[in-house]
Amino acid sequence: MRLARFLPGLTTLRNYKASFLPHDLAAGVTLGAVLVPVGLAYGELAGLPMAGLYGSMLPLIAYALFGSLRQIVVGPDSTMAAIAVAPLAVGDAARLGVLCAALGAMVGVLCLIGGVLRLGFVANFLSKPVIVGFMHGIAVVIVVSQLPKVLGIRSAGETTLEQFASLLPRLGDTNLVALAIGAASFAVILLCRRFVPRVPGPVLALVASLLAVMLLGLDRHGVAVVGRIPTGLPGLSLPVLTLLDFDILLPVALAAALLSFSDTMVAGRAFAARNRYRIDANQELLALGVANLVSGLSQGLPISASDSRTAVAEAAGSRTQVTSVVAAVVVAVVMLWLTQLLYYLPAAALGGILMASAWGLCDFGEFARLWRFRGVSLAGALVTLAGVVALGVMEGILIGVAFSIVLLLRALAFPPVAVLGRTAAGSWHDPAYRPDAVPVPGLLVYRFSAPLFFANCNLFRERIEALVEAARSPVRAVIVDGGAIHDVDPMACDMLAELDRELGERGIRLLFGNLRDRVRRDIERGLPPLPPGEEVSFPTVAAAAVAVGS
């Protein structure tokens, strides 16, 4: 029982029904057939074709044992593949392989640490605007990176903008045959996804493009092909890094771990809700940690959950994670005995497969939703998108997160406030929403809707002082409705003590209503001792108003 708690896959096997096996076998074979072209494509995107296939075997088995989600399929995806470490390798293929494997292992260790420390909540740190902007930015990065393969021309430059600019003068050299293959692969995948989701579009595109090249000899007409793929399974080895490499990779690994977990949680919640079971966020961190660690040790790409491959497995009838195990075996069989069949796979077809994947990341309606909700949310998405495209994936993420933090601090520093009025029934409300709530002469009732801390305590003080000065009749008491103040810090307590003293010198009492117990205790400790029998905090605003004779 104890072991099954950390290995949910054992519980699945113990309760496995024989009726599930035909469905899981069929779905596994279909999924395995999809994983081969997709794994090659993602490996190409990262600069290591085999790494995409290596990441589509052992990690799936590891996740099947440790994951809490029944349908989710993990493996390399566009997000993980686009977090490139190729610039760090400066053209050295062997070094690139070591860095990529090390990145996967580091992501795995970070996820394992997060799972042990129960840090599943960190998935909420990426705000909706950042995710929307990042996903669309990644889509643009993938499309631009694959245009040279689809067009049959070369590009140059480090950033996406530079690569796109370098393509424009060379459009006249486009290989129309390669363009036709890439466009047809893209169209086939999208049409299958739209009209016949049970048909694996990437497999159909792979087979059709392979046959076209072999039967028509298109490789003799300038169409680039994958060429020889090494036969055999990956060996297990621990990538060795220098301290400098570790320092360089650590921030990349942190971002990749957060993105991997966020992607998995978003996809997992959707499929768990659809199939009516619960997801354990901390167990998912552990499962992703083990899967990424295994991927790194077997020279694979970092992995996360995949919406599209999960949808393929579900459409093919998947019942449990046995589907992923079967799919991993199918990929292993291809690697051992069928790699020669992939020799004539055109690079343009892989480009079309990746472009279709990029299109699946896009949901343009999200931009309209963000605009309708709040314009600044749309700005956050666009800033992130621009950062990813103009500067790079990591830089774009950091810019988006920094923008979100600035917006959060701004919201906390300038929270909603209101001067309350009293209704005929004796309750206190904002006159903007209750026209029958009328301010009481001589009484200033002020609602502050945020934690009171160093970033906004001076604003709190300045607004109260301004309202006291602007009052039509002399103010004899200020009552703070603290129902929304869920925390105070020492600087805020010092400010309240100064405000209490200044108001007291003018014959104005400072009182509080609706304070939470912890906040009340902190404020009372921060204020000067009161005379016996005098109170500064009351259960309600109405009780505070009665205490000052109103």
Q: Point out the residues of the chain with pLDDT beneath 50.
A: none
Pairwise CA distance, residues 66 & 303, whole Å: 14
Residues 386 and 489 in one domain: no
Residue 4 domain-assigned (yes or no)? no
**What's the half-sphere exposure (Cβ side, CA atoms, 13 Å) at 208?**
21
Residues 187, 135 share a domain: yes
* 493 & 458 share domain: yes
Q: Is residue 527 part of a domain?
A: yes
- The rounded mean pLDDT for the chain is 87
The domain total for the chain is 2
525 Cβ partners below 8 Å, 6+ apart? 493
Say what the pLDDT of residue 420 is: 93
Q: What is the pLDDT of residue 270?
A: 63
Assess whether 479 and 509 both reside in one domain: yes
Q: What count of residues does the chain have? A: 550
Give the whole-angstrom CA distance, residue 157 versus residue 485.
51
- 241 and 162 together in one domain: yes
H-only helix segments in 220-280: 243-275
Evaluate whether residue 12 is within a structural domain: no
Q: Do both 235 and 312 map to the same domain?
A: yes
CATH of the domain at 489: 3.30.750.24
CA-CA distance, 305 to 195, in Å (whole number)?
24
- Domain end position, chosen among 408, 440, 468: 408
Let me know whether 393 and 496 are in one domain.
no
- Regarding whether 355 and 289 lie in a shared domain, the answer is yes
pLDDT of residue 70: 77
DSSP string, 24-80: HHHHHHHHHHHHHHHHHHHHHHHT-HHHHHHTTSHHHHHHHHH-S-SS--EE--HHH
Where a domain ends, among 345, 374, 408? 408
pLDDT number for residue 126: 67
Q: Are 310 and 75 in contact (CB under 8 A)?
A: no
Tell whether 14 is covered by a domain.
no
CA distances for 382 relative to 298, 364, 366, 441, angstroms: 37, 12, 12, 48
CA angle 96, 99, 103 (to 5 degrees): 140
**Helices (H) and strands (E) in the chain — how many of each?**
24, 9
pLDDT of residue 275: 66
Inside any domain, residue 5:
no
Is 490 inside any structural domain?
yes
Q: Distance between CA atoms of 75 and 53, rounded to whole angstroms?
A: 9
> Model pTM?
0.77
Asked, for residue 473, whether it belongs to a domain, the answer is yes
CA pair distance 497, 504, nearest whole angstrom: 10
294 and 428 housed in the same domain: no
Distance, in Å, from the CA atom of 406 to the CA atom of 120, rounded to the nearest integer, reads: 24
Residue at a domain's end among 377, 408, 439: 408
In contact, 57 and 259? CB cutoff 8 Å: no
Same domain, 352 and 474: no
> Could you list the residue range(s) of the whole structural domain that residue 501 is in?
417-547
Do 449 and 385 share a domain, yes or no? no
d(C-alpha 392, C-alpha 542), whole Å: 56
Task: Give the pLDDT confidence score for residue 492 in this predicted structure.
Answer: 92
The answer to whether residue 11 is domain-embedded is no
Is residue 75 within 8 A of residue 39, CB to CB? The reply is yes
76: its two tokens: 């390399």
Helix, strand or coil for residue 346? strand
Do 203 and 250 belong together in one domain?
Answer: yes
